[in-house]
Amino acid sequence: MNKNIFFFLGTEAELIKVFPVILDSMKKGGICHIIASGQNDLTKSRIMKEIPLNGMFLELSRESDIKKSAKGLLAWFIKTYRSASEKIEEKFGKGVFKGAPMVVHGDTVSTLMGARIGKKLGCVVCHVEAGLRSHHLFNPFPEEIDRLLTSRFARVHFAPGAEPVKNLRRAKGRVVDTVYNTILDSLKYSKNMPVLTKGLQDILKQDYFVFVMHRQENLANKEFVRQVMDRVEKFAQKRKCVLILHKITEVTFADMGILKGLQADKHFVLLPRVDYFDFMKLLDGAQYVITDGGSNQEELHYMGKPCLIMRKATERQEGIGRNAVLYGGDIDAMEVFEENHASYRIESLLEDYSPSGVIADALRHMKSAEADMGYKNGK
């Protein structure tokens, strides 16, 4: 049995999906350590206060050091990666990594960084949310490339369902079907958390829909943004629109000269990013959601909420054709969805099943890197 379990995390989105695994692993006797790349400042997250970490925490860099550009992110990746192994061994010692799990999550540049570092240190790289594929190398970018490369380093692949498992049929090591994504456990946890965002309780009592657009490939297309906002403003005449202002969204809207108009429009409520637990309550109270977020697609499927995914392609199959519609490049799909959104409402899937528990059990019973490298698709 492995006592030491290392979780390499870079973004708050990764933390959101992994913290139930950490909690379950500690309950099952694991000593859990978090190595934060610094891509996001995890120390500011409300979620960290919910983790009574029984191991150590190490931050490799600071988010404030990253220049907000593609070149800046690349420069940060190279600099952080080069010094990471030395910092990690200085913190934890050199004899604790051989055969220990190094858990990475998802598809960020930090995922890839953690997988490379884990292999270098002699860990068993364990990839949570493995096997998701859009089958388009540059869409989404760089996420699809990050997934493909991470799979090469991983020797335990925790795949959320039949399709991701199928995508890993040629992967080296062991493939574990968790059936659902760990976000299912995060959602159930959020149900019992109090609302902290000022004014949110009043919003939750109203008739509203939620609009989220923060992906760079969408916001870079100014004509597309104007077409989308023309329709969102039309929908907001029927029910209030709660618009989540990611920083990149706010800057784009300000540059385009549409931010002030939205701020003055009584049909809109503009909110900065709220913490995960409050955001889940906001989604759960909406009539429907229009979003370009992949995780939102999964969350809304488990909630049974109608949603329109503002992407041309998605690596996730959750909800498509049931509660979710993929816009797929057809701007008119927005109006069709809005007119028929009620028909996409389905039963909630927040059932008594724990993908995080499946992962925690597998981590608990891992014996060595050599043993796990001998597995192939669970055999």
What is the per-residue pLDDT for 186?
Answer: 96
Q: Is the model's pLDDT at 39 over the cut of 60?
A: yes
Q: Is the model's pLDDT at 370 over the cut of 80?
A: no
Report the domain count for the chain: 2
What is the per-residue pLDDT for 80?
Answer: 97
- Using alpha carbons only, give the angle 152, 153, 159 rounded to the nearest 5 degrees: 75
Which CATH number characterizes residue 296's domain?
3.40.50.2000
pLDDT, one tens digit per residue, over 159-209 is 999 999 999 999 999 999 999 999 999 999 999 999 999 999 999 999 999
Q: Is residue 261 located within the same domain as residue 133?
A: no
Specify if 378 maps to a domain: no
pLDDT above 70 covers a percentage of the chain that reads 96
Q: Is residue 107 located within the same domain as residue 233?
A: no
Please tell me the pTM assigned to this model: 0.86
Residue found by looking up tokens 């931050």 in the block: 59
User: By mean pLDDT, which of 91-95, 144-148, 355-359, 366-370 is the weakest?
Assistant: 366-370
pLDDT-derived band at 351, boundaries 50, 70, 90: confident
Q: Is the model's pLDDT at 368 over the cut of 70?
A: no
What is the per-residue pLDDT for 16?
Answer: 96
Residue 190 CB coordination number (10 Å): 21
Distance set, CA 69 to CA 75, 187, 216 (Å): 10, 32, 11
Phi, psi for 36 (deg, rounded to 5) = -100, 125
Specify if 235 maps to a domain: yes
What is the per-residue pLDDT for 20?
Answer: 98
Q: Please, are residues 337 and 308 in contact by the beta-carbon 8 Å criterion?
A: yes
pLDDT-derived band at 376, boundaries 50, 70, 90: very low
CA pair distance 238, 209, nearest whole angstrom: 10
Q: Is the model's pLDDT at 156 over the cut of 70?
A: yes
What is the per-residue pLDDT for 2?
Answer: 55
Q: Is the model's pLDDT at 379 over the cut of 60?
A: no
pLDDT-derived band at 375, boundaries 50, 70, 90: very low
pLDDT-derived band at 374, boundaries 50, 70, 90: very low
Q: What is the mean pLDDT of residues 62-89?
A: 92
Q: Please, are residues 39 and 68 in contact by the beta-carbon 8 Å criterion?
A: no
How far separated are the first and last CA of the chain, in Å rounded? 19
pLDDT-derived band at 138, boundaries 50, 70, 90: confident
Q: Is residue 147 located within the same domain as residue 87?
A: yes
- The token pair at 267 is 């049909």
Q: Is residue 136 located within the same domain as residue 260?
A: no
Specify if 379 maps to a domain: no
User: Residue 90's domain spans which residues?
Assistant: 4-189+353-373
Q: Is the model's pLDDT at 280 over the cut of 70?
A: yes
Specify if 136 maps to a domain: yes
Q: Per-residue DSSP letters for 158-202? A: EESSHHHHHHTTT-SBEEEE-SS-THHHHHHHHTTSPP-STTHHH
- The token pair at 10 is 């870079």
What is the per-residue pLDDT for 142?
Answer: 87
pLDDT-derived band at 70, boundaries 50, 70, 90: confident
Q: Is residue 154 located within the same domain as residue 202?
A: no
Q: Is residue 142 located within the same domain as residue 207?
A: no
> Rounded to an integer, what is the distance from CA 361 to the centroid of its chain?
22
Helix or strand (DSSP H, E) at 295 = helix 294-303
What is the per-residue pLDDT for 141?
Answer: 82
CA pair distance 181, 339, nearest whole angstrom: 30
